């Protein structure tokens, strides 16, 4: 009996020893794994130098430090590293999500960012980079794919054209320089020289002046182009009609004039936003608009007629041409697309409602205020508009 108890104890000790060995082995493997994912030392030192060159009054980078407990920079706020190599691949210091208006200020920016040669995502939006020669550094990050510098108070100084010829961002796909103080179209020269892989460009809310340059042979994969709220002048380049992958084009709130170019080749175009310019006509031989359009915004221009053949845009759900010089409908017009959900034609000179409006069964919004409409509207005329939620016919006769 005693011998059986002794054997049981020995068996328990053996099992416990095995478990302790396995546990010790797991701890060692975890330790080795942790050592492998730690960021490269020179990149950690570069990030600390980068922090030193910033004014951080709000402690945004409090997790960054040289102390023993903070040495793992892959765990710092705004940092991500490659699991395979440990290189820093993401730097995201966008503070726009903060409850309060916290931000970083760049007193200077040395060549320290160039140590992050494997960086593919950089977001410094909503920080103060006014004193930084940002372009000269960022264009030397060869693997950069996404660059966000929105609301950074970027200066309007035009950099040397040597930068354009000596730099390249071959993998850059997304660029956001919106809400800054850029005044020169140098950005286009940089973009055309930098990357043919760009899919999204946002230069809105700057003060960029002059004509929009041609994009022949460049930016062939571009899907989204936002140039709104600038001071672009002249006609819309015909070459934009060759950007076959484009799905959204916004050039509103500029000083563009003349007729629209032919956009029919852009079979992927969904949104065309050109309001608040000085545009005054359409392509002379055809409608000039692709059947893929879902939103067409042409308000606050100088158009005198609706687009001929607009009824062919069978996917169009939102159409705006308020504040133009419209006074009637093309005699060969067959009406409006039955797919329309929103129609805004206020502040024109119409004397009657558009032909076929009673057939727009999906219409939810109809604005025709401040025209020259006269008389009464028969109840049956609008009875088919079962989805209509907003009707504005104010300031007419």
Which has the higher per-residue pLDDT, 379 or 396?
396
The pLDDT confidence band at residue 69, using thresholds 50, 70 and 90, is confident
pLDDT tens readout for residues 184-236: 776 676 676 667 889 999 999 999 999 998 876 678 899 999 999 999 999 99
- pTM, two decimals, is 0.87
pLDDT tens readout for residues 5-38: 455 545 645 555 645 555 555 554 344 344 444 7
Q: Which long-range contacts (CB under 8 A, 24 or more apart) does 184-190 make?
A: 184/156, 184/158, 184/208, 184/209, 184/210, 185/209, 185/210, 185/211, 185/212, 185/213, 186/158, 186/159, 188/212, 188/213, 189/161, 189/164, 189/213, 190/135, 190/139, 190/163, 190/164
- The β-bridge relationship of strands 54-55 and 105-106 is antiparallel
Half-sphere exposure (Cβ direction) of 82: Cα atoms closer than 13 Å: 14
The pLDDT confidence band at residue 135, using thresholds 50, 70 and 90, is low
Which residues touch 192 (CB under 8 Å, ≥6 apart)?
213, 215, 218, 219
Closest CA to 64 of 31, 86, 85, 39: 39
DSSP string, 185-218: THHHHHHHHH-S---EEE--SS--EEPPPP-TTS
pLDDT at 30 (0 to 100) = 42
Which residues touch 294 (CB under 8 Å, ≥6 apart)?
270, 271, 315, 316, 317, 318
Please report where in the chains the tokens 């065309």 appear, as a residue: 272
pLDDT tens readout for residues 244-256: 999 999 999 999 9
CB 127 within 8 A of CB 102: no
Number of CB atoms found within 10 A of residue 302's CB:
14
Q: For residue 348, give the 3-state DSSP assignment.
A: coil
Q: Which helix (H) or strand (E) holds 163?
A: helix 161-165
Spatial separation of the C-alpha atoms in residues 206 and 181, rounded to whole Å: 5
Closest CA to 128 of 150, 146, 111: 150
pLDDT at 37 (0 to 100) = 45
pLDDT at 9 (0 to 100) = 46
CA distance readout (Å), 175 to 139, 226, 303? 12, 10, 33
CB 89 within 8 A of CB 120: yes
Spatial separation of the C-alpha atoms in residues 323 and 260, rounded to whole Å: 17
Averaged pLDDT, 60-78: 91
pLDDT exceeds cutoff 70 at 365? yes
Spatial separation of the C-alpha atoms in residues 29 and 21, rounded to whole Å: 12
CA distance readout (Å), 279 to 4, 80, 327? 99, 46, 17
Which has the higher per-residue pLDDT, 391 or 185?
391
CB 82 within 8 A of CB 107: no
Q: Which helix (H) or strand (E) holds 20?
A: helix 2-37
pLDDT at 101 (0 to 100) = 66
């Amino acid at each position: 009996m005693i011998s059986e108890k002794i054997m049981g104890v020995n068996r328990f000790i053996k099992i416990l020893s095995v478990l302790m060995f396995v546990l010790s082995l797991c701890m060692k493997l975890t330790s080795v794994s942790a050592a492998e994912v730690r960021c490269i030392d020179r990149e950690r030192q570069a990030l600390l130098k980068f922090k030193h060159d910033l004014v951080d009054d709000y402690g945004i980078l409090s997790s960054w430090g040289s102390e023993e407990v903070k040495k793992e920079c892959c765990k710092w706020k705004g940092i991500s590293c490659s699991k395979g190599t440990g290189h820093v691949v993401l730097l995201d210091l966008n503070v726009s999500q903060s409850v309060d208006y916290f931000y970083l200020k760049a007193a200077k920016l040395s060549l320290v960012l160039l140590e992050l040669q494997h960086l593919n995502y950089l977001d410094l939006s909503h920080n103060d980079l006014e004193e930084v020669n940002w372009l000269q550094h960022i264009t030397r990050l060869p693997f950069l794919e996404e660059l966000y510098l929105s609301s950074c108070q970027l200066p309007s100084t035009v950099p040397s054209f040597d930068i354009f010829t000596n730099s390249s961002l071959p993998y850059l796909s997304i660029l956001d320089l919106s809400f800054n103080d850029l005044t020169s179209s140098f950005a286009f020269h940089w973009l055309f020289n930098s990357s043919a892989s760009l899919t999204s460009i946002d230069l809105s809310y700057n003060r960029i002046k002059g004509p929009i340059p041609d994009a022949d042979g460049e930016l062939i994969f571009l899907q989204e182009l936002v140039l709104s709220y600038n001071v672009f002048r002249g006609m819309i380049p015909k070459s934009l009609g060759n950007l076959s992958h484009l799905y959204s084009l916004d050039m509103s709130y500029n000083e563009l004039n003349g007729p629209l170019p032919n956009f029919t080749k852009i079979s992927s175009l969904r949104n065309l936003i050109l309001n608040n310019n000085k545009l005054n006509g359409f392509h002379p031989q055809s409608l000039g608009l692709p059947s893929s359009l879902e939103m067409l915004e042409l308000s606050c221009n100088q158009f005198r007629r609706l687009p001929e053949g607009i009824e062919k845009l069978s996917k169009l759900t939102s159409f705006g041409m308020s504040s133009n010089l419209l006074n009637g409908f093309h005699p060969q017009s067959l009406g409006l697309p039955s797919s329309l959900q929103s129609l805004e034609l206020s502040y024109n000179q119409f004397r009657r409602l558009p032909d076929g409006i009673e057939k727009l069964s999906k219409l939810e919004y109809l604005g025709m205020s401040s025209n020259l409409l006269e008389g009464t509207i028969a109840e049956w005329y609008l009875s088919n508009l079962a989805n209509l939620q907003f009707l504005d016919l104010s300031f007419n006769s």
